[in-house]
Amino acid sequence: MAHAHNHGHDFHHEHGSELSEMQLRTRAIETILLEKGYIEQAAIDELIETYEKKIGPRNGAQVVAKAWVDPKFRKWLLEDGTAAIGSLGFGGRSGNHLVALENTPLLHNMVVCTLCSCYPWAVLGLPPLWYKSAPYRSRAVADPRGVLKDFGIELPKDTEIRVWDSTAELRYMVVPMRPAGTEGWSEEKLADLVTRDSMIGTGFPKSPKDLK
């Protein structure tokens, strides 16, 4: 049924004649499940709406911003991530075994799922394609410094890079270091600095000048 194409770096996208094939096959599954009474259409629509529009990295940014301003919350977050994010209304699917990882000047954390695409949906939404693709999955655990170069990042040689391979149902989010020049900022303004990639470990938060 599925046939292989030489897509080069683009192999993870469907396009051309394959697009209608996957569309039809997906629709076939949906139609059968609807007709046999396993699912309601509204359930499908609700799920798509939820993850397209409602749950995303903004959740995680709020968590990080709060950890930056509130030392008690930060401590709680690092000790019991699930409970701490739960206090902000986040949790549930891919978020009920949440562990927060603290970046320091000597330790940089990176999160991957080499075996599939496990990702902390509750705080980051659905993962980007690069996270789920072979280059990241294969290289993050063996050559994280090389992967960071693909993101334009170079860390000092004596910084430990700790890579977390999500092999069970624990889901990880990185708490990046707070950017300089943000003293006295509100949580909401700080949250604007927190990028999704900084919470995966393949980026840094924006700096104040990036927001101007």
Partner 1 sequence: MNGAADMGGMHGFGPVVPEKNEPVFHEEWEGHSFALNIVTGVANLWNIDAFRFKRESLPPPEYLNLSYYGLWTRTLELMMLEYGIATPEELKAGHAIAPFKQAPRAVTAADCDNMVRCARPFSRPAPGPALFKVGDKVRAKNMHPKHHTRLPRYTRGHVGEIARIVGCHVFPDSNASNLGEDPHWLYTVRFDGHELWGADSDPKVRVCIEAWEPYLEKP
Partner 2 sequence: MNGGHDIGGMDGFGPVQPEPNEPVFHSQWEKRAFALTLAAGVAGGWNIDMSRFARENRPPNEYLTMSYYQIWFAALEAMLKERALVSDDEIAAGQTLKAPKPVSCILKADDVARVLYHGDPTERETKTKPAFKAGDRVRAKMMNPVTHTRLPRYVRGHLGTIDRVIGCHVFPDSNAAGAGENPQWLYTVRFDGGELWGADADPSVTVSVDAWEPYLLPA
Catalytic residue flag (residue 113): yes
Give, for 144, the enclosing helix (H) or strand (E): helix 144-150
User: For this structure, is 207 an active site residue?
Assistant: no
Is 117 in the active site?
A: yes
Contact 127, 51 (CB under 8 A): no
Q: Which of residues 80-139 bind partner 2 (CB under 8 A)?
A: 134
Site string for partner 1, 85-114 (x = CB under 8 A): ------xxxxxxx----------------x
Give me the least distance between CB of 6 and partner 2, in Å please.
6
Q: Do the strands 107-112 and 98-102 form a parallel or antiparallel pair, or are they unpaired?
A: unpaired
**Helix or strand run (H / E) with residue 57:** helix 57-69
Place of tokens 């991530």: 81
Q: Which helix (H) or strand (E) holds 44?
A: helix 41-49
Taking CB under 8 A as the rule, which mask of x and - marks residues 141-180 in contact with partner 2? -x--------------------------------------
| Exposed/middle/buried for residue 111 (C-beta within 10 Å: 0-12, 13-18, 19+) | buried
User: Smallest gap, in angstroms, from Cβ of residue 180 to partner 2?
Assistant: 37
Residues 37-76 that bind partner 1 (CB under 8 A): 37-40, 42-48, 50-52, 55-56
CA distance 65 to 68: 5
Six token digits for residue 91: 């949790």
- Give the range of 6-14, 70-78, 107-115, 117-125 binding partner 2 by CB under 8 A: 6-14
Q: Which residue from 1, 4, 29, 168 is in contact with partner 2, where contact means CB under 8 A?
A: 4
Backbone CA torsion sign across 65, 66, 68, 73: negative
Region of 2-10, 83-91, 102-110, 194-202 interacting with partner 2 (CB under 8 A): 2-10
Please report, as ranges, the residues that interact with partner 2 according to CB under 8 A: 4, 6, 8, 11, 134, 142
Active-site residues, by number, are 113, 116-118
